[in-house]
Chains A and B, each alone.
Chain A
Amino acid sequence: MSLTHHIPHLLGIEGMTEKDITPFLDLAESYALLSRSRNAPRDVLQGRTVINLFFEDSTRTRTSFELAAKRLGADVVNMTVATSSVNKGETLLDTASTLNAMHCDLLVVRHAQSGAPALLSQKVEASVVNAGDGMHEHPTQALLDGLTIRRHFGRLSGLKIAICGDIAHSRVARSDIHLLRAMGNDIHLAGPPTLLPGALGTLDGVTLHHNIDDALKDADVAMCLRVQRERMGSGLVPSAREYFSLFGLDRRRLALAKPGALVMHPGPMNRGVEIASAVADSPQSVISEQVEMGVAVRMAVLDRLSRMKNPA
């Protein structure tokens, strides 16, 4: 989060403290309840324009942001920019000046390049929300994961949390690690060495495992990350079946975790690769609740950034 400039942005979780994070979670929690009772306050973002600027396809995240903005009464525009053109960068900065001319208030950005929302934030007059940039960060995903965990345990600290899958290429993993560390949890990362950067082991409160069983033992939360099919046979992992056999979250492995441990996944899932269907659909799975909290967290983020930008 960047509050030093006069325009507030949410570009990443890195650097945020418990004090920065908790207000987002508290507000999101109240929005979750209001959403369930169909009582979201439609005047919060009335007259504000939210643009969802997606340089990378993502129906789920875009829909979640769109719903969040609409529930608070904002005018929402979705822009999907083709990234196939050679001069992607030109498009990025040209788009920034276009958006400035449109007087948009909140800009939600998804981009395949790490740092692209940060670059855009230097050029636009809107508050920028990073909706996922390359392998860098996906801050609203971390907030919604944190909120989901907090609702089940009544706290977001002192928990053993296992994160398994393609951590090397995952912005979700990075944001989750920053958030869970900031809140004071014991984080265990598991995956094959090609998908698990050794450098993450240098962070306090983070332990690396190449044996997923060790990571899951007595865990309160078992979080799976998507392992893209493209990684298979690319020299990083030999095959999907080997990955599932050695690293997939199945019932036997889940039994190593604490009874009632939460099963989480940011989606979309590759069933039979990183997670067995029996686990994904088990009563311990909170994957659907993550999606629900996603909307609430994004309402809270849009609301708070808008308030910081326009203090009452």
Chain B
Amino acid sequence: MSSILFENVRLIDPASGRDGKGSLLVENGRIAAIDPKEAPKAARIVDGNGAVLCPGLVDMRASFGEPGAEYRESIDSGIQAAVAGGITSLALLPDTDPAIDNPALVHYIRRRGEETGLVSIHPYGALTKGCAGVEMAEIGLLKKAGAVGFTDGARAIADTKQMRNLLAYSGFLDTIIILHPEDPSLAKGGCATASPQAVKMGLPQIPACAEAMMVARDLRLAELTGARIHFGHISTGEALGLIAEAKKRGTRVTCDTAPPYFAMTEADIGDFRTYAKLSPPLRLEADRQAVLAGLADGTIDAIASDHSPADADDKRLPFAQARAGGTGLVTLLGVTLRAGLPLLDALRLLTVAPARLLGLEAGTLTIGAAADLCLFNPEEEWTVAAGDLPGRAQNTPFDGQTLKGRILRTFHHGREVFTAEGLSS
């Protein structure tokens, strides 16, 4: 099979801490050597011109509309956006229609991923049947079928006793339980974080503490049951404080956040901008700063795209009626680079850190590992333009913004799956 030699690149491998000039040889879809003394004569040479070569990004939290809402985003369309964002592994939330709550559907998602062959798709299994928060799903069978973790997606489990039982049961499977931390009754009907601006706009509000309240409950239940829990899209300082304390106590807890929560605030919903309507809703500046601090001090374990597709009709509605959620695959790297973290740390949160949380063999430049690679220029700027983005869904909250960090090429298992415009493939 073919060989590729990446020359004149800045190799960054967060798993080993390596960051420096070098070259990398790929053979038969796997990483064969770093700084090889010689390469096969037939090897294709990719001259990076000093660009960064790092492991392909691992996105642990994305939604597509398949099955059930392919008009928003199908697996085929979504992975076009993923590879353009340098992503080579994706974990998909199970709150589709139908929900991924039986083994056949887990197989279906995996097979659809394999058919496309452009990225590795890992399904989450539903924690409860239909992600409805009532009846426990067959999580043991789902795990056997290949589910990498369990979650009800964007829904929190309201019933405390039910939650306790779910966490207790999951203990023997040694799996990760991903939670949407928001008190559902406090959040019901709300669409914006409680704030002076939301009051002026006359929008139904959700107090920011709805997040910390759920985090507090679920941390206690994790301690009670010994389950391994992970909070998705953490967005408030109060919740991060609770998680940091719990980590010190030895609670088995991790968390991620998504780019909007450290790059935007609630001020961005001004003029009823529905593309900035997210769940959880955008927070105030103090919480944005707290999320940045949580990224810097390690309280936050990973950054996920939180890709949540909507079509124009979902969003061209009065704010309270519009669908919550924004796309995030294409902008994942560029917005993350804005967080002010050292490049090695930023890439760790996007590669090996989420891969380890889910037990995936991905996100490193280890010899023998699958050659999932992302080549990007950290200095090159590009402007986000809703309507022109790869993939079907165009509901980016970052529309019109200029981002630094342009993906040049993406490789999955040694195959070039994305080439930036203007480059030869």
Contacts and interface: CB of A to CB of B under 8 A. Distances in A.
Contacts of B194: 199
A171 interface: yes
A114 B195 contact: no
B297 interface: no
Contacts of A92: 317-318
B199 interface: yes
Contacts of B202: 114-115, 133-137, 171, 174
Nearest to B320: A113
Interface in B195-234: 195-196, 198-204
A5 to B, nearest CB: 12
Interface in B303-333: 313, 316-322
Nearest to A203: B196
B196 to A, nearest CB: 4
B271 interface: yes
A116 B201 CA distance: 11
A93 interface: yes
B201 A114 contact: yes
B318 A115 contact: yes
A205 interface: no
A93 B318 CA distance: 10
A197 to B, nearest CB: 5
8 contacts: A89-B321, A113-B318, A113-B321, A114-B272, A115-B202, A133-B202, A174-B199, A199-B196
A59 interface: no
Interface of B: 194-196, 198-204, 271-272, 313, 316-322
A116 B316 CA distance: 10
Given A199-B195, A203-B196, 13 more contacts: A88-B317, A88-B321, A89-B316, A89-B322, A113-B318, A113-B319, A114-B201, A115-B203, A134-B320, A136-B201, A136-B203, A197-B199, A200-B199
A202 interface: yes
A119 interface: yes
Contacts of A115: 201-203, 272, 318-320
Q: Which of A114, A174, A203 has its CB near the most chain B CB atoms (within 10 A)?
A: A114
A113 B194 CA distance: 17
A85 to B, nearest CB: 12
B196 A118 contact: no
9 A-B pairs with the lowest CB-CB distances in the bound complex, closest first: A135-B202, A136-B202, A113-B318, A115-B272, A89-B317, A114-B202, A199-B196, A116-B318, A199-B199
A214 interface: no
Nearest to B195: A199
A174 B200 contact: yes
Contacts of B199: 174, 197, 199-200
Nearest to A112: B318
Contacts of A14: 200
Contact of B271 (A118, A200, A203): A118
Nearest to A14: B200
A230 interface: no
Contacts of A137: 202
Contacts of A111: 318
Given A134-B202, A135-B202, A136-B202, A114 B320 contact: yes
What's the interface size class on A, roughly? 20 to 34
A88 B198 CA distance: 22
A107 to B, nearest CB: 16
Interface string A30-45: 0000000000000000
B316 A114 contact: no
A93 B316 contact: yes
A119 B198 CA distance: 17
Interface string A63-87: 0000000000000000000000000
Contact of A135 (B203, B271, B316, B317): B203
Given A88-B321, A199-B194, A119 B203 contact: no
A54 to B, nearest CB: 15
Q: Which of A14, A115, A135 has its CB near the most chain B CB atoms (within 10 A)?
A: A115
A197 B319 CA distance: 20
Contacts of A93: 316
Contacts of B196: 199-200, 202-203
A115 B316 CA distance: 11
Nearest to A111: B318
A114 B191 CA distance: 11
A134 B194 CA distance: 17
Nearest to A169: B202
B200 A119 contact: no
Nearest to A2: B271
Contacts of A89: 313, 316-318, 321-322
A127 B322 CA distance: 24
A89 B200 CA distance: 22
Nearest to A136: B202
Contact of A90 (B200, B204, B313, B322): B313
B270 to A, nearest CB: 11
A194 to B, nearest CB: 13
A174 to B, nearest CB: 6
Interface string A191-218: 0000001011011000000000000000
A115 B199 CA distance: 13
A224 to B, nearest CB: 20
Contacts of A171: 202
Contacts of B195: 199
Contact of A119 (B204, B313, B318): B318
B20 to A, nearest CB: 51
A174 B198 CA distance: 12
B317 A114 contact: no
Contacts of B319: 113-115
Contact of B272 (A119, A197, A203): A119
Contacts of A135: 202-204
A92 B321 CA distance: 12
Contacts of B201: 114-115, 136
Contacts of A119: 272, 316-318
A174 B202 CA distance: 8
Nearest to A135: B202
A200 to B, nearest CB: 6
A197 B192 CA distance: 14
Contacts of B200: 14, 174
A114 B313 contact: no
Given A88-B321, A199-B195, A203-B196, A114 B271 contact: no
Q: Which of B196, B201, B203 has its CB near the most chain A CB atoms (within 10 A)?
A: B201
A88 B195 CA distance: 27
Contacts of B313: 89-90
